[in-house]
Structure 1
Amino acid sequence: MSQNRIFSIESCIELKFNDSETRDISYNSFIPEIEKLQTNRAKVLVEKKNSNILNFKIESNDITAFRASINEIINFGKIIENTINITEIS
């Protein structure tokens, strides 16, 4: 991140799944989206952790970019949750 800023923000978000298969499907679904989250103002990295966790690391130069990154992860989580709910009903 840029050293010209007064501060930077770093944060981690973990999504915990019931099983590794759902985690892997979610990971593979998010990978194509990760590129659009890489900007000069913010970076988002995602990695598999343990057998059932996706770990998102956010590095941002400003609050607005940080919030946008958080919102993308939240929206992704909602999509996963809705998809799981639909498949359980079927």
Structure 2
Amino acid sequence: MSKDINYLIKSSIEIYFKNSQIRDISFNTFLPENRNLKSKRSKLKMEKEGKNNLRFFIESKDITAFRASINEIITFGKIFENVLNLVE
């Protein structure tokens, strides 16, 4: 396969939280992990949006890198969900 980029995948995922406090805890929890994600093939950006929303922006050079970025978000979400269930 050629090393030239023939396409670029851009996507965003938005997570809606019950309140801004849970959104902020989630944001601060994932922030160190997000800073450590280094890849030449994919970029993952996270930002607070609206009152209770968290949005992830993904830009990937190939489908495998895109899937890896999606998996990072899913894994983080599952861990955070489990922690919330324990606290409640």
TM over 0.5: yes
> Runs (4+) of structure 1 moved beyond 2 Å?
35-38
- 1:30 matched to which residue of 2? 30
1:32 and 1:51 map into 2 onto residues whose CA distance is 22
Q: Where in structure 2 are the equivalents of 1:47-86 lying within 5 Å? A: 47-86=47-86
Percent of aligned pairs sharing the same letter: 54
Gaps of 5+ in 1: none
Tell me the TM-score normalized by structure 2. Answer: 0.93
Deviation by residue 1:4-48 (Cα, 9 ceiling, x = unmatched): 311010000011100000000000011101123231100000000
* Corresponding residue pairs, total: 85
Deviation by residue 1:25-74 (Cα, 9 ceiling, x = unmatched): 00001110112323110000000001110000000000000000000000
Tell me the TM-score normalized by structure 1. Answer: 0.91
2:80 and 2:24 map into 1 onto residues whose CA distance is 12
Give the AA of the match of 1:66: F
Gaps of 5+ in 2: none
Q: What's the C-alpha RMSD, in Å, of the aligned pairs?
A: 0.8
